[in-house]
């Protein structure tokens, strides 16, 4: 049942893509009807993009509006690093020498390294994506050629809104509004899809990036609503007034992709029941139940003692 008049779904930018639907695939109208009220009732701004990778059908609610990326900007950073590797300007297994001048936060694993310690580039990519290590990510940003080079790659590949702002000449005004980076729910999902289909940098680079994205340490929001036996690629992000996550689910009946981004939240707490985190969990729950109605997520006794890590 729809919770709002169907006209409101159009106002929320419900989009249908061409594609041959099968009886097993969920009705996108029904999915939109469940999610639109969540967005409408959210205390702040929120956008959602969903794509059924079997049929190609899409749902977008505020999907083309710009939002802060927070740590999701680490996906474009990774892509730009792999582009350098593909060009022979970096070696994925090369040794790098850490210096204290690279320190961003001593809360990062990389920030705990001693001066002159050596690490591999591949390890920094892993820490940037899987642990969302900020020191590693800023180091990679420089190795990729700075935000200017990253933005050039994005522009050349048709991304109109996704940009790196921090430490990037000419982007200070955008940094003041959006922080480290900016994107739309549709564009960050499109970048994830390019990696999935082998179209980001090269098929080999995309395959390795997909492997990295499938090893997330942060699993308390969207991933908590997906059974642990399902392979998922994801990257999340968070600042006090914005929570976000982009997720590609290799579901048994066929893959689906979604992103959720919030901004201007009234709830700025760093707690598990933050309204932004709750929205991400609820969207993920609805999608899993819609795409996999015969494979319900089972509640495991005692699971609560392992939850609660914050981005």
Domain membership of residue 239 as a residue range: 65-251+263-293
Q: d(Cα 203, Cα 269) in Å, to the nearest integer?
A: 40
3-class DSSP state for residue 248?
A: strand
Residues 6+ apart with CB under 8 A from 99: 115, 116
Structural domain count of the chain: 1
- Residue 309 is assigned to a structural domain of this protein: no
Nearest to 274 by CA among 283, 264, 287, 265: 265
Kindly state whether residue 48 falls inside one of the protein's structural domains.
Answer: no
Using a 10 angstrom Cβ sphere, with 0-12 exposed, 13-18 middle and 19 or more buried, the burial of residue 213 is buried
Residue 269 counted as domain residue: yes
* DSSP label of 105: -
Q: Could you tell me the maximum CA-CA distance found in the chain, to the nearest angstrom?
A: 62
**Is 86 contained in some domain?**
yes
92-120 confidence digits (pLDDT tens): 999 999 999 999 887 899 999 999 999 99
| Cα 227 from chain centre | 19
Cβ pair 246, 189 in contact under 8 A = yes
Helices assigned H by DSSP within 22-133: 28-41, 74-86, 121-130
Taking the C-alpha atoms of residue 233 and residue 65, their distance in angstroms, rounded to an integer, is 23
DSSP string, 109-175: TGGGSPTT-EEEHHHHHHHHHHS--HHHHHHHHHHTTHHHHHHHHHHHTT-SS-EE-TT-TT-HHHH
Do the domain assignments include residue 301? no
52, part of any domain: no
pLDDT of 12 reads 43
Q: How far is CA 153 from the centre of its chain?
A: 18
Question: Is 219 among the domain residues?
Answer: yes
| 217 found inside a domain | yes
Q: Which residues of the chain are modeled with pLDDT < 70?
A: 1-23, 308-311
* Confidence at residue 288, expressed as pLDDT on a 0 to 100 scale: 98
Rg of the chain (C-alpha set): 19
Residue 222's pLDDT is 98
Q: What is residue 308's predicted lDDT score, i.e. its pLDDT?
A: 64
pLDDT at 196: 98
* Two tokens, residue 260: 């959720």
Burial bucket for residue 149 (CB in 10 Å: 0-12, 13-18, 19+): middle
Predicted pLDDT of residue 6:
35
* pLDDT value, residue 15: 41
Task: Round to whole Å and give the CA distance between 106 and 258.
Answer: 32
Q: What is the DSSP letter of 43?
A: S
Query: What is the domain-level CATH number for residue 198?
Result: 3.40.710.10
The DSSP secondary-structure symbol of 218 reads: -
């Amino acid at each position: 049942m729809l919770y709002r008049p169907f006209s409101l779904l159009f106002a929320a930018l419900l989009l249908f893509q061409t594609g041959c639907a099968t009886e097993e695939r969920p009705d996108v109208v029904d999915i939109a009807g469940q999610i639109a009220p969540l967005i409408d009732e959210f205390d702040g701004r929120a956008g959602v993009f969903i794509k059924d990778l079997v049929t190609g059908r899409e749902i977008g609610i505020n999907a083309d509006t710009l939002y802060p990326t927070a740590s999701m900007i680490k996906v474009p950073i990774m892509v730009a690093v792999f582009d350098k590797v593909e060009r022979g300007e970096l070696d994925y297994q090369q040794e790098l020498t850490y210096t204290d001048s690279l320190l961003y936060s001593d809360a990062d694993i990389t920030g705990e390294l001693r001066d002159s310690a050596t690490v591999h580039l591949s390890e920094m990519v892993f820490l940037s994506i899987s642990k969302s290590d900020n020191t590693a990510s800023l180091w990679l940003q420089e190795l990729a050629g700075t935000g200017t080079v990253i933005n050039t790659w994005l522009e050349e590949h048709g991304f109109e809104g996704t940009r790196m702002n921090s430490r990037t000449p000419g982007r200070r005004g955008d940094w003041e509004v959006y922080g480290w980076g900016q994107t739309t729910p549709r564009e960050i999902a499109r970048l994830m899809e390019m990696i999935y289909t082998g179209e980001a940098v090269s098929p080999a680079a995309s395959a390795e990036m997909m492997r990295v994205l499938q090893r997330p340490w942060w699993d308390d929001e969207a991933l908590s609503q997906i059974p642990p036996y399902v392979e998922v690629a994801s990257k999340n992000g968070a600042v006090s007034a914005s929570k976000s996550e982009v997720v590609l689910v290799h579901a048994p009946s066929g893959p689906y992709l979604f992103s959720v981004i919030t901004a201007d939240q009234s709830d700025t707490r760093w707690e598990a029941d933050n309204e932004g985190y709750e929205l991400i969990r609820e969207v993920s729950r609805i999608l899993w139940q819609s795409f996999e109605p015969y494979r319900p997520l089972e509640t495991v006794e005692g699971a609560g003692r392992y939850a609660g890590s914050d981005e």
